[in-house]
Chain A
Amino acid sequence: MRATCGLFVTMTYLVLEAQTGELCYATGGHLPILRRIGATGEAEIFYGDEGLPPSSEMMRVVIGSEPRLLNILRAVVKFRAQEAGFSKSDAEYLALAIDEAAANVIRHTYGGCCDAPLALELHNLPDRLEFTLEDGGPKVCEDQIRPRSLDELRPGGLGTFFIHSFMDECSYDPDFTPGNRLKLVKFLSRKGACCDESSSANSG
């Protein structure tokens, strides 16, 4: 089912037997269930006993601009990146980059407003993963978003540095309106480049 505004409608139906812990569920195009593990709060994608669902080349996730929801974006990115062939550590770096981009939208573009939409699209292409992050806030000035020098010891300002370090391409769509669309690309052929300190340090 496809709604207006380019959004999909999905559903998940779950029945949990509280006494036995048995969980039965059916899903109609919804994102995978996240299972929280123990006291650490770590989350993993849970698919039950039926194996992985078929992957589609594109996935779109829409959340409200609440900081507590950022872990959903991280889990999705980490899963899709590993599915696309990135190592676990590189997938974690990509999740960090997306988390930082989304956090920047929440903090700066939306000014901390928690009920604005934030949409992440992931395109799984043969040689790369493309991410687009859309918001409905005021236009950002791309020239003012630059990684800061690492020579300064001060809190803050590292988010943009991490984004540029872990992604191969980073650009705003000037024609997207209203709001902003940030496009981030990571190529598979540059595996292991996520932590290339020499290249990242020169980025800004």
Chain B
Amino acid sequence: MKVQVRILDRISILDCTGDVDLYSSPRLREALLAEIKPDGPSVLVGMSAVPYIDSSGIATLVEGLQLSRQTKTRLGLFGLRANARSVLELARLHKVFTIFETEQEALEKIGSAKPFDGV
């Protein structure tokens, strides 16, 4: 699994590629937590190239969400594949995360959102 970080319109985008499991989730955790900074730019996690995510990957995303709330940083996910979305729904986390269908939608909505609205 690879995580590449890019900045677009002052938004940090983490492009994830590959399975997110017990082996690879520490890499996502390191990258994600490094991008979430106090009053820092919004952070988006691109998951269109993530065919599989397990509970350790979801735990990483939850940890990022909690840190984003503490630091008043907006965090969003986009491009989830069907099985990743199903797993989030089963864990009742689909309404906790801010999820966008596409990167374009994420950029438009997060870019135009208020500085921090609690999501």
A, B from the same assembly? yes
A66 to B21, CA, bound (A): 12
How many residues on the A side are at the interface (Cβ–Cβ under 8 A)? 34
| Smallest CB separation, A69 vs chain B (Å) | 8
Answer whether residue A67 sits at the interface, using C-beta atoms and an 8 A cutoff: yes
Interface segment out of the listed B35-43, B48-56, B105-113: B48-56
Q: Which of A92, A103, A153, A165 sits near B56, CB closer than 8 Å?
A: A103
Are the CB atoms of A155 and B19 closer together than 8 Å?
A: no
Closest-by-CB residue of A relative to B26 is: A67
Answer whether residue B34 sits at the interface, using C-beta atoms and an 8 A cutoff: no
Interface segment out of the listed A6-14, A23-31, A38-46, A120-128: A38-46
A93 to B91, CA, bound (A): 13
Interface residues on B, range: 20 to 34
- What string of 1s and 0s marks CB contacts (under 8 Å) between B61-74 and chain A? 01101100000000
Apart from A162-B87, A200-B90, what 11 extra A-B contacts exist at CB < 8 Å? Answer: A41-B1, A67-B22, A74-B19, A92-B83, A99-B54, A150-B91, A153-B62, A154-B66, A156-B55, A165-B90, A195-B90
B interface, CB within 8 angstroms of A: 1, 17-19, 21-23, 49, 51-52, 54-56, 58-60, 62-63, 65-66, 82-83, 86-87, 89-92, 96
